[in-house]
Amino acid sequence: MAPAARETLVVRWFGASFERLHPLLQALHRDGGRLHGTVAIRSGRGIAGWIGRRLARSLGIPLDRAERGFEVEIRHLDDALVWRRRFDDGNEMVSRFEPVGAWPDGCWIERTGAVRLDLAVDVVDDGGWRWRTLRARWNGVPLPLALLPRARAGKRIVDGRYVFEVAFALPLFGDLFGYDGVLDAETATPAWTAERARGMNTGIEPGDHVGAA
């Protein structure tokens, strides 16, 4: 019999369905870890590109080059996940994710600066994970979803590597901007996760901006 998964927030939130995730995604969300590699960054054209560049700047995403070095660090706290994303020019996004309910009807609350997103999770056939926005707030004020950019955000495993995409588009205007890449994962040990998580600050400061996971 396979050993039971270590009890992290993600394991508890998914319950028995945790095993539907690809084994490498299970390891990342059981033990925490670091992903690193190169991402491709793109922006739209015309009005969509102008809006996209402003949105990207507000997120801390550099658009001056088509490719950037990129790193994501995932840490488990007792009551949340903390994701720290860094580009090689020093830009950084930090988000805190808090679970609500349980899969498939529950969601995760992402808090990044003044923005709160309520995100559902869809597990796709290959064991990948896709986010779906349910609600959004800015400084506690609800935002109508009809006015928000449409987001595509997800992750999956291909040939043992971590493949992800984050992209934003507006109806009628088209693609605003996006970034995607293939990353290598360094999974943390349980001891590393516990020690680092207990002692860390969430890293979320007033100047941080929203970022998709």
Mean pLDDT for the stretch of residues 121-139: 94
Residue 170 lies in a domain: yes
Query: What is the pLDDT at residue 145?
Result: 81
Q: For the chain, how many structural domains are there in total? A: 1
Q: How many CB atoms lie within 10 A of CB 201?
A: 8
As a whole-number percent, the residues of the chain with pLDDT over 70 amount to 85
β pairing state of 150-158 and 129-138 = antiparallel
Q: CATH number of the domain that 92 lies in?
A: 2.40.128.20
Query: What is the pLDDT at residue 156?
Result: 96
pLDDT above 70 for 121: yes
The secondary structure element, H or E, covering residue 166 is strand 161-170
Tell me the longest C-alpha to C-alpha distance in the chain: 57
Residue 212 lies in a domain: no
Position 147, amino acid: L
Mean pLDDT for the stretch of residues 49-55: 91
Residue 161 lies in a domain: yes
pLDDT above 80 for 16: yes
Residue 4 lies in a domain: no
Query: Which residue range(s) make up the domain with 166?
Result: 9-199
Mean pLDDT for the stretch of residues 13-40: 95
Residue 72 lies in a domain: yes
Give the model confidence (pLDDT) of 96-110 as tens digits. 999 999 999 999 999
Give the model confidence (pLDDT) of 161-209 as tens digits. 999 999 999 988 999 999 999 999 875 444 334 444 333 333 333 333 3
Query: What is the pLDDT at residue 186?
Result: 78
**Cα-Cα end-to-end distance for the chain:** 33
Residue 207 lies in a domain: no
Residue 180 lies in a domain: yes
Query: What is the pLDDT at residue 187?
Result: 55
Give the model confidence (pLDDT) of 134-155 as tens digits. 998 988 999 888 878 888 999 9
pLDDT above 80 for 21: yes
pLDDT above 70 for 1: no
Residue 73 lies in a domain: yes
Mean pLDDT for the stretch of residues 52-64: 88
List, in order, residues 6 or more apart from 97 with CB less than 8 Å away: 80, 81, 82, 83, 108, 109, 110, 111, 213
Average pLDDT over all residues of the chain: 85
Q: Of 9, 213, 203, whose CA–CA distance to 113 is shortest?
A: 203
